[in-house]
Amino acid sequence: MDENMRPRPNAGFSNWVGGYRSRALSAGVSGATFDRAFASAGYIPGVIEKDRNQAEFTKSLGDYLSTAASDTRVETGRAMLSQYSSLLSEIEARYGVDRQTVLAVWGMESNFGKRRGEIPVISALATLAYEGRRGRFFEQQLTSALKILQNGDVTPENMKGSWAGAMGHTQFIPTSYEAYAADFRGDGRRDIWSDDPTDGLASTAKYLSNFGWRKGQPGVSRWYCPRASTTASRAAPRKARPNGRRSACAPRPAARSATSAPPRSSCRKARRAWPS
């Protein structure tokens, strides 16, 4: 691991942790849980560097997609679909989310479990909360992470993830984990960190199901918005509905080919089907 990604002492950080402790305890975290979690925690300078240089914002769309959806990743996905066919079928039956979608999320988020993250989550989230750019958000995530530890799903030593605190096979942030993580086999732990992807993949399907995923509908659809409504739609809130629906838009007519030009009276809009 890069030395800049290892926790280190920092006086300002330690002072912040001291002040945060009372807020965490007021939110329901026990003193014992807090003290154990922060026993080896520290400030990680590399986390701040990563926060300032996220690939999604520094690469062109073409460059990003060439890596995210490479031929190698697609081939690996086909192999994983075969290897985990039985598990994915069980998950699909319980949550109603097709196996290909669950697999695609797994591939995008951690390259099928190969890159689940090795950064201590408590240190990473505490560093971001202390730094302050999105302090309120990351303090909320930190408090949720402490509650996960308190629940016994994972130990502080094994609670590792990305520099931003995303965890496990499909990179759940702590608040999403608390709300949607699944104990698929009923063993008493919602384990998204281990090499076994069962709970991670089930949690992903549960998450999508709770946000209104509709099995059998396309992940991406092409929609048209009447030109007359363009101004109004820009002024209105743009909160997405499940499967990308917006009341001002209508689906592309089936008679038109995917590559044909839109009619002059309308504007073409592509909508993603991920839940808002």
User: Residues 3, 49, 56, 109: which is the catalytic one?
Assistant: 109
pLDDT digit string, tens, across residues 239-259: 444 444 444 555 554 433 333
* Main-chain dihedrals φ then ψ at residue 218, nearest 5 degrees: -65, 150
131 is catalytic: no
Q: Identify whether the C-beta of residue 46 lies closer than 8 Å to the C-beta of residue 2.
A: yes
Q: Quote the CA–CA distance of 108 and 94 in Å, as a whole number.
A: 23
Tell me: do 100 and 3 sit in the same domain: yes
What does the pLDDT average to over 44-56? 86
Residue 167 is part of which domain span? 1-216
| pLDDT at position 56 | 60
Answer yes or no: is pLDDT of 261 > 60: no
Question: Which pLDDT tens digit goes with each residue over 185-218?
Answer: 999 999 999 999 999 999 999 999 999 998 888 7
Q: Point out the domain boundary residue: 193, 216, 239.
A: 216
Same domain, 177 and 225: no
The pLDDT of residue 12: 97
Place of tokens 């059998």: 216
Are 76 and 123 found together in one domain? yes
With 0-12 / 13-18 / 19 or more C-beta atoms within 10 angstroms meaning exposed / middle / buried, residue 222 is middle
Domain's final residue, options 216, 231, 262: 216
Predicted TM-score (pTM) of the model is 0.77
Q: Rounded to whole angstroms, how far apart are CA atoms 159 and 251?
A: 43
Condensed to tens digits (0 to 9), the pLDDT of residues 120-175 reads 999 999 999 999 889 999 999 999 999 999 999 999 999 999 999 999 999 999 99
Q: Within the chain, where are the H helices?
A: 11-26, 31-38, 45-52, 55-58, 61-68, 71-83, 85-95, 99-110, 121-131, 135-151, 174-180, 198-210, 230-235
Domain end, chosen from 195, 216, 237, is at: 216
Provide, rounded to the nearest whole percent, the portion of the chain with pLDDT above 70: 78
